[in-house]
Chains A and B, each alone.
Chain A
Amino acid sequence: MPSVEEKSLKTVEDLDVIVSSDEHLSEKLDEFFPYIDDEEYGGIKQIIEQATEPWRELFSVTPPLPAFSNTEMASDYSGAGNVMEGGDDKLETKLLRMDKFDIDYGIINPTLMLALPTANNTQAAAAMANGYNQWVYEEFASQSERLYMSVVVAGQDPAAAVAEIERYADKDEVVAVQVGATGHKIPVSHPYWDAIYTAAEEHDLPVKYHSSLLGVGHGFPLQHRWHELFAEDKVISHPFSHMWNVMKLIYEGIPQKYPDLTFVIQEAGIGWIPYWKMRLDRFHLGLGQEMPMLDKLPSKVIDDRFYFTTQPVGHSDHNPKHVAWMTEMAGPENLMFSADIPHTDFDTPDELFKPINPHFDDDRVRNMMGRTAIEVFDLDIQP
Chain B
Amino acid sequence: MTEYRVASTDELDDGDRILIEVDGAEIAVFCVDDSYHAVLNYCVHQSGPLCEGALSGRLTADPPDFDWSYDDEPRVVTCPWHNWKFDIQTGENIRDSTYRVPTFETSIKDGDVYVHRK
Contact = CB atoms under 8 A, between A and B. Distances in A.
Interface of A: 253, 256-257, 284-290, 292-294, 296-297, 300
Q: Is the interface of B mostly helix, strand, loop or mixed?
A: loop
B103 interface: no
Given A256-B66, A292-B68, A293-B66, A285 B61 contact: no
Contacts of B85: 288-289
Contacts of B96: 285, 296-297, 300
A284 B96 CA distance: 9
24 contacts: A253-B61, A253-B66, A256-B66, A257-B63, A257-B66, A285-B45, A285-B83, A285-B93, A285-B95, A285-B96, A285-B99, A286-B82, A286-B83, A286-B84, A287-B83, A288-B94, A288-B95, A290-B59, A292-B59, A292-B60, A292-B68, A293-B66, A296-B96, A297-B95
Contacts of B45: 285
A294 to B, nearest CB: 8
B5 interface: no
A294 B68 CA distance: 12
B6 to A, nearest CB: 29
Contacts of A292: 58-61, 68
Contacts of A287: 83
Question: B interface, how many residues as a size bin?
Answer: 10 to 19
Contacts of B58: 289, 292
In this complex, which of B59, B66, B68, B95 has the most chain A Cβ atoms within 10 angstroms of its Cβ?
B95
A289 B84 contact: no
A147 B61 CA distance: 42
Interface string B75-106: 00000001111000000011110010000000
Given A286-B84, A292-B68, A297-B95, 6 more contacts: A285-B83, A285-B84, A285-B93, A286-B82, A292-B58, A300-B96
B95 A293 contact: no
Interface in B54-73: 58-61, 63, 66, 68
Contacts of B63: 256-257
Contacts of A293: 61, 66
Nearest to B76: A289
Nearest to B82: A286
Nearest to A257: B66
Nearest to B59: A292
CB-based closest 6 A-B pairs: A293-B61, A288-B95, A292-B61, A286-B83, A292-B59, A293-B66
Nearest to B99: A285
A293 B67 CA distance: 9
A288 B45 CA distance: 15
Contacts of A257: 63, 66
A290 B59 CA distance: 8
Nearest to B56: A289
Nearest to B81: A286
Contacts of B59: 289-290, 292
A171 B93 CA distance: 46
B59 to A, nearest CB: 4
A297 B95 CA distance: 7
A296 B84 CA distance: 14
Nearest to B84: A285
A290 B95 CA distance: 11
